[in-house]
């Protein structure tokens, strides 16, 4: 959309450390965030009056933080002309219902296949400590009791693959399983974005109440056509979506299966597309290819 600026990862506080510690020192993009003591999986219950957190997000959504670290993809000239802002969060899913209570926002919840996410994170520097850590601990922090029901599962986690799979479950399952899923926020499947692009674009722009920009398909560097199983484009996308199978071993895939089963995650398997009925709470399903 014209005159739109992306605010990138304002809650970032450093690489993920699964032993329960937060990075030491003044790390992160916004120093004022450190005063709140947010954890990676910060949960805020609905109805909670956490005034300091509310004030922080009010300042953030009002664009009162003028630091280049959250505008790395935007030239200053474009930032000065901005009329709307899109906030990209990496660690905000568990506080999203609380944010919706307090702010006039239109959250879009992007969900990707957990097998693909684990395979990607195994290669990413921000999760390097995960490979060296054999435990997944939830320390004591504000509202950390939310995780108490999951502690028996986390106590049995010992490998990097299991840690990352559990992390996926902790961040995504609590929202996917709620009845408000695809009502108060829009859940979007990464796989569907690639394979059902136009259908998803219609959903997204209808949800935010904006017309689809005429030049949006230039972003994809491809003409606006429906993806068909007979096209080369389709096969390229399928190859991309199934690449995790070339990275994970059968043993690792089995470990992920166990974690997903213990958390009660359905909807995902070794198939290219998920069960959209599970992901979208039975409210919408993309057309068959």
Q: Are the C-beta atoms of 61 and 5 separated by less than 8 Å?
A: no
Residues 6+ apart with CB under 8 A from 154: 136, 137, 138, 147, 166
Report pLDDT digits (tens) over 267-285. 999 999 999 999 999 888 8
Q: Given its phi and psi angles, is residue 118 left (phi above 0), alpha (psi -120 to 50 degrees) or beta? A: alpha
Per-residue confidence (pLDDT) for residue 225, from 0 to 100: 42
Quick: pLDDT tens for 142-199.
Answer: 999 999 999 999 999 999 999 999 999 999 999 999 999 999 999 999 999 999 999 9
Pick the CATH number of 4-279 from 3.30.410, 3.40.630, 3.40.50, 3.30.70: 3.40.50
Over residues 49-108, the pLDDT tens digits come to 999 999 999 999 987 776 767 776 666 566 667 777 888 998 899 999 999 999 999 999
Question: What number is the average pLDDT over the span 241-251?
Answer: 96
What's phi and psi for 109, nearest 5 deg? -105, 105
Instruction: Compare 232 and 163 and report the one with higher pLDDT.
Output: 163
Residue ranges of the domains in the chain?
A: 4-279
- Distance (Å, whole) CA 187 – CA 106: 11
Tell me the whole-structure pTM to 2 decimals. Answer: 0.90
């Amino acid at each position: 959309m014209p005159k739109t600026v992306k605010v990138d990862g304002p809650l970032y506080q450093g690489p993920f450390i699964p032993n329960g510690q937060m990075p030491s020192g003044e790390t992160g993009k916004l120093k004022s965030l450190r005063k709140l003591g947010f954890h990676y999986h910060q949960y805020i219950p609905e109805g909670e009056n956490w005034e300091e957190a509310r004030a922080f997000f009010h300042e953030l959504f009002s664009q009162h933080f003028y630091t280049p670290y959250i505008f790395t993809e935007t030239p200053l000239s474009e930032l000065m002309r901005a009329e709307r802002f899109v906030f990209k969060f990496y660690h905000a899913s568990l506080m999203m219902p609380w944010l919706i209570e307090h702010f006039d926002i239109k959250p879009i919840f992007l969900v990707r296949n957990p097998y693909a996410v684990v395979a990607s994170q195994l290669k990413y520097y921000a999760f390097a400590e995960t490979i060296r850590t054999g435990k997944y601990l939830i320390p004591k922090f504000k509202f950390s009791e939310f995780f108490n029901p999951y502690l028996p599962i986390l106590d049995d986690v010992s490998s990097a693959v299991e840690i990352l799979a559990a992390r996926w479950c902790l961040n995504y399952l609590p929202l996917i399983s709620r009845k408000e899923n695809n009502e108060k926020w829009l859940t979007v499947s990464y796989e569907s974005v690639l394979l059902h692009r136009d259908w998803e674009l219609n959903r997204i722009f209808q949800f935010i109440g904006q017309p689809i920009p005429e030049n949006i398909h230039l972003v994809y560097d491809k003409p606006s056509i429906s993806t068909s199983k007979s096209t080369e484009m389709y096969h390229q996308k399928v190859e991309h979506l199934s690449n995790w199978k070339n990275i994970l071993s059968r043993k690792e895939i089995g470990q992920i299966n166990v974690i997903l089963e213990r958390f009660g995650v359905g909807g995902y398997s070794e198939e290219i597309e998920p069960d959209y009925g599970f992901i979208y709470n039975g409210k919408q399903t993309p057309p068959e290819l």
